[in-house]
Amino acid sequence: MATDYYAVLGVRRDASQDEIKKAFRRLARELHPDVNPDPKTQERFKEINAAYEVLSDPQKKQVYDLGGDPLSQAGGGAGGFGAGGFGNFSDIMDAFFGTASQRGPRSRTRRGQDAMIRLDIELDEAAFGTTKDIQVDTAIVCTTCNGEGAAPGTSAQTCDMCRGRGEVSQVTRSFLGQVMTSRPCPQCQGFGTVVPTPCPECAGDGRIRSRRTLTVKIPAGVDNGTRIQLAGEGEVGPGGGPAGDLYVEIHELPHAMFQRRGDDLHCTVTLPMTAASLGTKVPLETLDGLEEVDIRPGTQSGQSIPLHGRGVTHLRGGGRGDLIVHVEVMTPSKLDPEQERLLRELALLRGEERPTGQFQPGQQGLFSRLKDAFNGR
Eight-class DSSP state of 198: B
**Neighbouring residues of 9: CB distance < 8 A, sequence distance ≥ 6:** 20, 23, 24, 27, 48, 51, 52, 55
Give the SS3 label for residue 191: coil
Residue 374: inside a domain, yes or no?
no
Give the confidence band of 27 by pLDDT, cuts at 50, 70, 90.
Answer: confident
**Neighbouring residues of 301: CB distance < 8 A, sequence distance ≥ 6:** 276, 327, 328, 329
Residue 85: inside a domain, yes or no?
yes
In whole angstroms, what is the distance from residue 220 CA to residue 226 CA? 11
Is 70 exceeded by the pLDDT of residue 187?
A: yes
Is 267 labelled as part of a ligand binding site? no
Are residues 122 and 226 located together in one domain of the fold?
Answer: yes
* Closest by CA position to 222, among listed 312, 96, 321: 312
In whole angstroms, what is the distance from residue 44 CA to residue 33 CA? 10
CB 161, CB 188: distance < 8 Å: yes
Pairing relation of β-strands 115-121 and 246-252?
parallel
pTM score over 0.85: no
Q: Which domain holds residue 57?
A: 5-97
Is 162 labelled as part of a ligand binding site? yes
Are residues 39 and 147 located together in one domain of the fold?
Answer: no
Residue 323: inside a domain, yes or no?
yes
Name the residue with higher pLDDT: 88 or 172.
Answer: 172
CATH of the domain at 74: 1.10.287.110
Q: What would the pLDDT profile of 255-309 be if each residue is shown by its tens digit?
A: 999 999 999 999 999 999 999 999 999 999 999 999 999 999 999 999 999 999 9
Examine the fold and report which residue of 57, 75, 97 is the final residue of a domain before the chain moves on.
97
CATH of the domain at 117: 2.60.260.20
Query: What value does the mean pLDDT of the chain take?
Result: 83
Q: Which residues of 290-303 are buried (b: 16+ CB within 10 A; e: fewer)?
A: eeebebeeebeeee
The mean pLDDT value for 157-172 works out to 84
Number of independent structural domains in the chain? 4
Are residues 218 and 249 located together in one domain of the fold?
Answer: yes
Are residues 91 and 112 located together in one domain of the fold?
Answer: no
Residue 318: other Cβ atoms inside 10 A: 6
Is 60 exceeded by the pLDDT of residue 332?
A: yes
Is 188 labelled as part of a ligand binding site? yes
